[in-house]
Chain A
């Protein structure tokens, strides 16, 4: 397939994906914005006043980067897993599989679609947060690169989930039983300095802990983890997951009998 043909195919998949989640914006864009706004009101405003400072910042300032990251993670993941599984379920994925689109383009198209939704919801949440505090970004490049990498990693993870899923139950198990606990235990609502030594070590095994803290570093200039190390971990996850997705696609796992 020629390069320009590959680009057209890639663009087609991305446009189709974006069209899909914007068509159902009431299900895809509004609910996360409302949920995260409730977090702002309840945890940030009401409970946060009683908590006081966290890591040297008022509680609202402290949790906002984590809540934005939570929206990005959940939406990048759920967009790819639900969209690709729906393609499998309706068998419309066959349109793609019989066409000459290389697997790397199929993967890139769906992943970029997921990233766009994750970043769009993240953007909406960021705008909502402006109603509560004046946000300042200390390290814009770090903020941008970590949010892009996080959206990429969770879009890839969603793709793997979709490949193995055989029913709609299978696409909700990982988000419910794995992703949500990892997010909540990833330092969104607290600083790891509050944790006993043992649980601090356990947190170090949670990849979301690095994402949240590096993102927070971008906003506030402080982090519980070394930023360079966090980027290495994130890049490592992205490379491993991308390679795994490609390998599974080439094998036809979950797609070809």
Chain B
């Protein structure tokens, strides 16, 4: 399989002395849907900045589809589409002009540019807005416009830096569908997001970056399999005054109120076993929900492990 991105011992120290990347190495295979996660300030955006040439690296090497980005600047840029975290198009230009201009930067003849522009504006639900100034678009539309702009030259590799930040859930899900289709059609996608549910839903492989170092780099499946405990909130059909004695069962529970409690169960315990226990102790359950996303728990535990458990992660 071809390697879409090969990052080797990448370092970045900013002029103010901040060491944003401390020698990260990473490989993303062609066709992958890859999540790059980390808390704020971990080094995700710096990594993406270096890949997209917006940030100068201090050391190490980057290859895109086997070509060194320093030696083959123009070829590697042709393969790359970038959707940045912040809105970065002119607010005074019309939607269609923004996409057409980007096509022009890639040397696309006008006819082809117009076809691609229509194709992606339609796919992203912006065709009706094509003659409107971009500042009049909603936040979600602006994000979709940045995706359309990044795709107009049909890159083999698409980098999305928090593409659904501030987007409502309905729109987010439609964007997930679009990105899944795009990935299935062969585009390699790298995604950074703070919505871990999004990464879990979309991505096959994952790297977690913290303080400029990769603390985890594995497949989503392998990572989720490593989850040894899960916490649920149990809603009760009939109120209880105290929690039952669970005996030797591999779980711990905490009383919230007479209508609900929190239960943390070992991964060895199946759902069937859990409900048998509820039945045994005459606990009538009306609803059961995960206290947090599975990936979120792993994310926090990996960061905690990497930091020796002495720091609290404020925001995933």
Contact = CB atoms under 8 A, between A and B. Distances in A.
Given A91-B86, A91-B88, A92-B89, A98 B54 contact: yes
A91 B88 CA distance: 5
Nearest to A251: B56
A90 B52 CA distance: 18
Interface in A1-16: 1-2, 4-9, 11-13, 15-16
A5 B82 CA distance: 20
B242 to A, nearest CB: 58
Given A94-B84, A98-B80, A257 B105 contact: no
A186 to B, nearest CB: 34
B102 interface: yes
Contacts of B49: 257
Given A90-B90, A94-B88, A8 B109 contact: yes
Given A16-B101, A100-B74, A257-B49, A94 B107 contact: no
A4 B112 CA distance: 14
B53 A97 contact: yes
B243 interface: no
Contact of B74 (A1, A7, A11, A257): A1
A256 interface: yes
Given A16-B101, A257-B55, A99 B149 contact: no
A99 B77 contact: yes
B104 interface: yes
B278 interface: no
Given A91-B86, A95-B88, A102 B74 contact: yes
B55 A90 contact: no
A139 B86 CA distance: 53
B165 interface: no
A136 to B, nearest CB: 42
B106 interface: yes
Interface string B73-93: 111011010101011111110
Interface residues of B, number: 33
A54 interface: no
Nearest to A19: B97
Given A9-B107, A252-B56, A99 B102 contact: yes
Contact of A1 (B53, B80, B107, B149): B107
B90 A12 contact: no
A9 B108 CA distance: 8
Contacts of A19: 97
B14 interface: yes
Given A8-B108, A12-B104, A102-B74, A90 B91 contact: yes
A149 interface: no
Interface in A99-139: 99-102
B101 A95 contact: yes
B99 to A, nearest CB: 10
Contacts of B149: 95
B90 A257 contact: no
Contact of B54 (A8, A16, A94): A94
A5 B107 contact: yes
B77 to A, nearest CB: 4
Question: What 3 pairs between A and B have smallest CB-CB spacing?
Answer: A5-B107, A12-B104, A99-B105
12 contacts: A2-B107, A8-B109, A9-B104, A9-B106, A92-B89, A94-B54, A98-B52, A98-B82, A99-B105, A256-B53, A256-B54, A257-B14
Interface of B: 14-15, 49, 52-56, 73-75, 77-78, 80, 82, 84, 86-92, 97, 101-102, 104-109, 149
Interface of A: 1-2, 4-9, 11-13, 15-16, 19, 23, 86-87, 90-92, 94-102, 252, 256-257
